[in-house]
């Protein structure tokens, strides 16, 4: 090896799936005690490469070297034994087992006579979390822990395997800023102990905060390497997408005084004794719901449209009071939801694009039990073109699409239903920088057509860059409604209040 500090090297790794060349001659070099960013758009090959590294997939061509020795992994167990741990974007924890049981699943510690020792495992788990600097209740099921706590259980599980190379796939996607900062502190401590980390994230500001070097993939091939200190955001984005993105956010329109209120919520109380909130939504605006995770943003939106129970509420649509007792009534009233988890709640991923767009509006395409397939295809094709879905055809399976294109399919569904009010819950979570720009442009186009949007987001830059007004939440209450120059990170965080911890 040329670099004596190198712990991992991948050489000329290639992988083909039926009809798709996923990876083509990928090289990657990781040093001991570094945080190495692996970047690229959705579909660039990052996940495939990491699954090959962890023995989940087998490469068609290429070599893996750990500390100079060539290794072949027939499965994940082989990779673990070689000191590789991976923290997947979607947790691999069993929800009804405790943190201790999840960490030692399949490799229980035993006492001197060969019986499982719960006390020894609990002690070991407690030491792990003390090392990580987090408090975890070891006596409750994982499902009763916060998302941030579950994230640190995943990290503890990987470290308990004595991982020397740790892969973190979108580890901050569901964390508050304070929780993410604590994670970075843990990562710095691990780096000081010589643990090498491969860090995958779509939050470019995090790359410059925590990473040492960067490798970029594009269309399954190497697109560039750089030291973090020698590159800026614009260069990094161009390396990732192969083009310059001139602006992060489309320009905000001048607010029209006297615009019509399409949605009025004079009062909504999530629970008895809780805060009584109110808000309005005007035609052609993007209203932001900002605040820390758990502040009540999503709960209020879902409660308003009847998807979650509330203690009491009053809702007016276009000046007329309506009950909105369930999502069916909300949809009939022209309210569409892009849920936070598009794969679980927003799409039927094993079905086609056409099916996912038309599923809520089949009556539009025929009478009685007969559906005009020609009319359905014509309409869904036009909607795909309108929102910019990139796919071979409308018959393509939604599961094969990138995150950004999946999000566009959900948007197309609600346009097919002619929804005038759209609720976007974390619209760019897990979406690459190029697709984000396309989603932002599409949102502005929709408001220019008279649609109104409520955008719930944990990303302050997109709240500031996209929203015409912002409702700031704290502990289930709307504590401020900001507009104009008041929409800035400092004012938003001041109202939202920092100080939530992961313990």
For position 14, what pLDDT does the model report?
95
- Distance between CA atoms of residues 432 and 442, nearest Å: 15
Q: Are 447 and 285 in contact (CB under 8 A)?
A: yes
The CATH code belonging to domain 260-334+420-496 is 3.40.50.300
pLDDT at 175 over 50: yes
Domain(s) labelled CATH 3.40.50.300 in the chain stretch across 6-241, 260-334+420-496
- Residue 497 pLDDT grade (very low, low, confident, very high; cuts 50, 70, 90): low
Cα torsion 347, 297, 419, 309 to 10°: value is: 80
Output 148 or 96, whichever has higher pLDDT.
Answer: 96
Q: Which two tokens stand for residue 114?
A: 């060969």
The CATH code belonging to domain 6-241 is 3.40.50.300
pLDDT at 500 over 50: no
Beta strand residue intervals within 426-476, DSSP E: 452-456, 469-474
Q: Give every CB contact of residue 227 below 8 A, 6+ residues apart in sequence.
A: 212, 213, 214
For position 499, what pLDDT does the model report?
40
For position 366, what pLDDT does the model report?
73
84-87: strand order across its sheet: 84-87, 165-169, 196-200, 35-39, 213-218, 221-227
Query: What average pLDDT does this structure show over 77-101?
Result: 87
pLDDT (tens digit per residue) in 134-160 = 889 999 999 898 877 888 898 888 888
- Residue 240 pLDDT grade (very low, low, confident, very high; cuts 50, 70, 90): confident
Query: What average pLDDT does this structure show over 320-339?
Result: 91
Angle, in degrees to the nearest 10, between helices 373-387 and 403-416? 120
3-class DSSP state of 232:
coil
pLDDT (tens digit per residue) in 369-404 = 677 788 889 989 998 988 888 888 899 998 888 777
pLDDT (tens digit per residue) in 406-421 = 888 988 888 888 889 9
286-290: strand order across its sheet: 335-338, 421-425, 452-456, 286-290, 469-474, 477-483
State the pairing for strand pair 421-425/452-456: parallel
Within 10 angstroms of residue 250's Cβ, the number of other Cβ atoms is 17
State the pairing for strand pair 213-218/35-39: parallel
pLDDT (tens digit per residue) in 178-231 = 778 888 998 999 999 999 999 998 788 899 999 999 999 988 899 999 999 999
What burial letters (b/e) apply to 337-346, b meaning 16+ CB within 10 Å?
Answer: bbbbebeeeb
pLDDT at 364 over 70: yes
pTM metric for this prediction: 0.66
Q: Are 424 and 447 in contact (CB under 8 A)?
A: no
- Residue 257 pLDDT grade (very low, low, confident, very high; cuts 50, 70, 90): low
Half-sphere exposure of 108 (CA within 13 A, CB side): 9
pLDDT at 1 over 60: no
Nearest to 290 by CA among 502, 486, 501: 486
Q: Are 492 and 470 in contact (CB under 8 A)?
A: yes
Angle, in degrees to the nearest 10, between helices 433-448 and 233-241? 90
Nearest to 365 by CA among 440, 302, 417: 417
């Amino acid at each position: 090896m040329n670099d004596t500090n190198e712990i991992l090297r991948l050489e000329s790794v290639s992988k083909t799936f039926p009809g798709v060349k996923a990876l083509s001659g990928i090289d990657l070099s990781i040093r001991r005690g570094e945080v190495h960013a692996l970047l690229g758009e959705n579909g660039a090959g990052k996940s495939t490469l990491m699954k090959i590294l962890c023995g989940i997939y087998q490469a068609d061509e290429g070599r893996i070297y750990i500390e100079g020795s060539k290794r072949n992994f027939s499965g994940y167990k082989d990779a673990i034994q070689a000191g590789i741990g991976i923290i997947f974007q979607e947790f691999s924890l069993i929800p009804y087992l405790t943190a201790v049981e999840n960490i030692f699943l399949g490799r229980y510690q035993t006492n001197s006579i060969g019986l499982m020792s719960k006390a020894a495992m609990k002690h070991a788990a407690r030491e792990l979390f003390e090392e990580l600097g987090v408090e975890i209740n070891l006596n409750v099921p994982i499902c009763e822990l916060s998302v941030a706590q579950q994230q640190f259980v995943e990290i503890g599980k990987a470290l308990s395997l004595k991982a020397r190379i740790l892969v973190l796939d979108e580890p901050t996607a569901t964390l508050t800023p304070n929780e993410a900062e604590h994670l970075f502190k843990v990562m710095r401590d691990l780096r000081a102990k010589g643990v090498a980390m491969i860090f995958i994230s779509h939050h470019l500001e995090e790359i410059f905060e925590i990473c040492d070097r960067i490798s970029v993939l594009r269309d399954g091939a190497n697109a560039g390497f750089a030291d973090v200190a020698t590159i800026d955001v614009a260069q990094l984005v161009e390396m990732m997408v192969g083009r310059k993105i001139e602006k992060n956010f489309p320009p905000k329109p001048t607010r029209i005084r006297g615009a019509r209120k399409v949605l009025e919520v004079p009062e909504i109380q999530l629970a008895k004794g809780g805060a009584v909130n109110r808000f309005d939504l005007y035609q052609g605006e993007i209203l932001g719901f900002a605040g820390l995770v758990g502040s009540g943003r999503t709960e209020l939106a879902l409660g308003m449209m009847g998807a979650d129970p509330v203690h009491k509420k009053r809702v007016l649509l276009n000046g007329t009071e309506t009950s909105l007792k369930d999502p069916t009534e909300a949809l009939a009233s022209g309210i569409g939801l892009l849920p936070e988890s598009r794969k679980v709640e927003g799409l039927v991923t094993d079905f086609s694009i056409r099916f996912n767009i038309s599923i809520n509006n089949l009556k539009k395409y025929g009478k009685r039990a007969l559906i005009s397939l020609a009319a359905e295809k014509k309409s869904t094709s036009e909607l795909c073109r309108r929102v910019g879905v990139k796919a071979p055809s409308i018959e393509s399976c939604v599961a094969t699409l990138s995150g950004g294109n999946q999000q566009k399919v959900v948007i197309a569904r609600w346009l097919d239903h002619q929804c005038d009010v759209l609720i976007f819950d974390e619209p760019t979570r897990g979406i690459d920088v190029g697709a984000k720009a396309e989603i932002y442009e599409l949102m502005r186009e929709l408001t220019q057509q008279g649609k109104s949007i409520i955008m719930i987001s944990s990303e302050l830059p997109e709240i500031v860059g996209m929203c015409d007004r912002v409702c700031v939440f704290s502990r289930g209450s709307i504590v401020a409604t900001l507009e104009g120059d008041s929409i800035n990170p400092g004012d938003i965080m001041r109202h939202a209040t920092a100080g939530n911890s992961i313990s």
